[in-house]
Amino acid sequence: MSKLVTWIWTPPEGYTGEQVNAYCAVSYGMVLGLFGHILFLFLFWSLDLEELALLNIGSVALFLIGAILLAKRQMVLTSLAIGSIEVLVHGWIATVKLGWEASFHYHILAVLALWFLITGLPWVTRLAIACVPAAVYITLQIYVGYGQTLSGLDEETLQAVSTMNLGIFCLGISGVCGYYAWSSARAHRALEKELSRSESLLHSILPASITEPFKEEGRTIADGFEDCSVLYADLVGGGELTSIYSQEEIKELRAELFARFDDLAERYSVDKVRALGDSYMVTAGVSNPAPDHAARLGDMGLEMQAVMEELRSGRSEFFGLRLGIHSGPAVAAVVGQRRFAYDLWEDTANTAAHIRAYGLPGEVQVTETTFSLLHGEFHFEFFGTPEVEGRGKMKTYLLKARV
């Protein structure tokens, strides 16, 4: 029995979506039809209705052929067609022989419903096929008429036959509809799960404040900010590691380092702009405007260097982290239509990147603008006046520690 249940509800490998539903519905119908006709075969034989008994022998053979074609060759539509034709013919003959009250006509309605559940077919095709059992049902009612008992069966026997037919009909409809309800609920849960994953992915890429507008508008979103800070960091000395460690070990080190940086970004409520190659960039005061945007990046920068020292232990002394922080106006934007990205434009981001390039491994270098915002909260050391591309000479400072 367990193997039979497994066969009914386990579609072949590679079947998805509508194919799975069609296969399970037809396999269930094949098994129910096979056992139902075997049951009626013995019933008719015991009632000396030899013509109907012989008819059921042919019905059992047809349903057996349909089940084999379905199990061995996955011929879903062929099996359904065989079963449908048999039910229509059998339903017509049995109703003519036993009368309307024997309830064989209900199986014709089951055929009509089943074809509508085979969603892999075009609607026009399903509607055209469904017209056949509908026409059979209507003409049968006109031909036989309700209340006519033609077989001479006593009322008790006729009631038993009717009850069996209604039971099989209910088993068929409730089983298939129950499966479709379960399948629909499963698909809905899977959809909710995927939606949750996509939401999580979107939130991991975009700041929370612009996630909803981006989903609703589905286009490039750009906002200007007059007062924010940008931290730009990169790894140095990575080439030294290639002679000591494998590429896989270096990838794992970089992944662990950036994961730790992500945790810091979440703790200080700042936005990661990008993590590309050996570079890492965050901004404060954009999606979450705050007067202490520079201080947040100052604290984060010191912790990033501490994390770097922890992971650098025992590795090349040239392997380190350079950091640059600059404050000022910027434009934050979501760009792209298919592969979108969150990015930061304008001079503030460029300046942070440039002074990082002039920095020292293991140090947090800031511009004079950022220094003026943090003076009194942190200890600083004057670094120099490097020539910054596009800005000329700029005073820079090394941020050492909290006051």
pLDDT, residue 209, reads 57
Evaluate whether 166 touches 159 at the Cβ level (below 8 Å): no
CATH architecture of 208-402: 2-Layer Sandwich (3.30)
Domain boundaries defined on the chain: 2-198, 208-402
- For residues 158 and 149, give the distance between their C-alpha atoms in angstroms, rounded to a whole number: 9
pLDDT tens digits along 303-324: 999 998 888 765 555 578 899 9
Average pLDDT over residues 322-350: 78
Evaluate whether 229 touches 325 at the Cβ level (below 8 Å): yes
pLDDT, residue 28, reads 87
Regarding predicted confidence, which is higher, 310 or 206?
310
Average pLDDT over residues 358-378: 91
pTM of whole model > 0.85? Answer: no
pLDDT, residue 268, reads 92
- % of the chain at pLDDT higher than 90: 29
Evaluate whether 26 touches 70 at the Cβ level (below 8 Å): yes
pLDDT, residue 8, reads 61
Closest by CA position to 32, among listed 68, 8, 58, 57: 8
- For residues 149 and 153, give the distance between their C-alpha atoms in angstroms, rounded to a whole number: 8
Q: Provide the pLDDT confidence category of residue 391 given band limits of 50, 70 and 90.
A: confident
Dihedral over alpha carbons 147, 155, 167, 56 (to 10 degrees): -90
Q: Is the pLDDT of residue 151 over 70?
A: no
Q: Which residues of 166-203 are buried (b: 16+ CB within 10 A; e: fewer)?
A: eebbeebeebbeebeeeeeeeeeeeeeeeeeeeeeeee
Evaluate whether 267 touches 201 at the Cβ level (below 8 Å): no
